Amino acid sequence: MTARCTLQDLQKMKAAGERIAMLTAYDHASAIMAGRAGVPVLLVGDSLGMVVHGHETTLPVTLDDMVRHAASVVRAGTNALIVGDLPFLTYATPADAVHAARRLMQEGGVQAVKLEGGGTIARTVRHLCELGVPVMGHLGFTPQAQHQLGIRVQAKQAADARRLLEDALLLEAAGAFAIVLELVPAPLAAEVTRRLRIPTIGIGAGAGCDGQVQVWHDLLGLLDRAPPRHAKPYAQIGQAVETAIRAYVDEVRSGAFPTASQSSGMDPSELARALTAVDGCQR
């Protein structure tokens, strides 16, 4: 991709049946690598609270955190569409949402924002879209409400499934350009995808979505824990990093690092003059 991915590109991808790969990114280096690999959509997710900051949930993440990480990702200069999460309770009212979106777009540099929730935030989504803010929705398991929902598959019963579909249609009508479906039964996610004109991005929602999103650390096996069921580690980078660091520690302790070729030299006469000068000062 030679030009930045746009909302229109995503719509064309859905129409053509071309799957959309979205990946989280939280810093400059990861964004550069993802860009080189051709990822069309990067999400600066509030999941950074867990995988980067070490919190148990996403709730402690602040708007300042999101702005700082987003700016780092944006400075990578990739052609990906960069979406930033609005963190917990920063969009409780339309006015709050405008303030948060303004900071994340102006200071963080993202091209779109993501909000969790359905019908209850449809008015806020519409308000943002009317002001020119591209909005991605997020339904199913919404991490910011995990204490209320529990970490489990959502909408398994008919009434809940109907509500999720209604919420998806409301978000689409409000102007959302795409919707993340997280921990939703695969048949339901496929049906929602079929009924929507905008793309769906699944995470733990089966292959029937228009695209998929994964967390950087899960994809690369960076954390010392079993990945979620819906995640697929494509490498075990964490083990490779630990092996490299152990080798470095061992070589420092043994004196094998640094070698002469890894050290800077100095003309012997210059060293002698420097030592004479120092000795003179000490006297």
Q: Does the annotation count 182 as an active-site position?
A: yes
Q: What is the DSSP letter of 233?
A: -
pLDDT, residue 225, reads 82
Give the pair of three-digit tokens for residue 153: 């598959």
Catalytic residue among 56, 172, 182, 251: 182
Specify the amino acid at residue 79: N
- Share the mean pLDDT of the chain: 95
In the predicted structure, residue 2 carries a pLDDT above the cut 70: no
In the predicted structure, residue 279 carries a pLDDT above the cut 80: no
Helix (H, G, I), strand (E, B) or coil at 42: strand
Q: What is the DSSP letter of 260?
A: G
Separation CA 138–CA 131 (nearest Å):
20
Separation CA 70–CA 105 (nearest Å):
9
**Each residue's pLDDT tens digit, 119-136:** 999 999 999 999 999 999
pLDDT, residue 269, reads 93
Domain 7-235 fold is: TIM Barrel (3.20.20)
What number is the average pLDDT over the span 45-57?
97
Q: What share of the chain is helix, strand, coil (3-state, %, to 5)?
A: 45, 15, 40
pLDDT, residue 147, reads 87
What number is the average pLDDT over the span 185-207?
98
**Confidence label for 283 from pLDDT (cuts 50, 70 and 90):** low
Domain boundaries, the chain: 7-235, 240-282
pLDDT, residue 14, reads 98
What number is the average pLDDT over the span 245-249?
96
Give the pair of three-digit tokens for residue 271: 């060293």
User: What's this model's pTM, rounded to 2 decimal places?
Assistant: 0.93
pLDDT, residue 54, reads 95
* 96, 54 contact by CB (below 8 A): no
Separation CA 245–CA 240 (nearest Å):
9
Q: How far is CA 155 from the centre of its chain?
A: 24
pLDDT, residue 129, reads 98
* In the chain, % of residues over pLDDT 70: 98
Helix (H, G, I), strand (E, B) or coil at 136: strand
**Each residue's pLDDT tens digit, 197-226:** 999 999 999 999 999 999 999 999 999 888
What number is the average pLDDT over the span 92-97?
98
pLDDT, residue 49, reads 97
Q: What is the DSSP letter of 227?
A: P
- Interacting residues of 108 by C-beta distance below 8 A, sequence separation 6+: 44, 66, 67, 68, 69, 70, 71, 74, 84
* In the chain, % of residues over pLDDT 90: 88
pLDDT, residue 226, reads 83
In the predicted structure, residue 251 carries a pLDDT above the cut 80: yes
Going 229 to 233 to 236 to 239, the CA torsion angle's sign is negative
- Interacting residues of 254 by C-beta distance below 8 A, sequence separation 6+: none
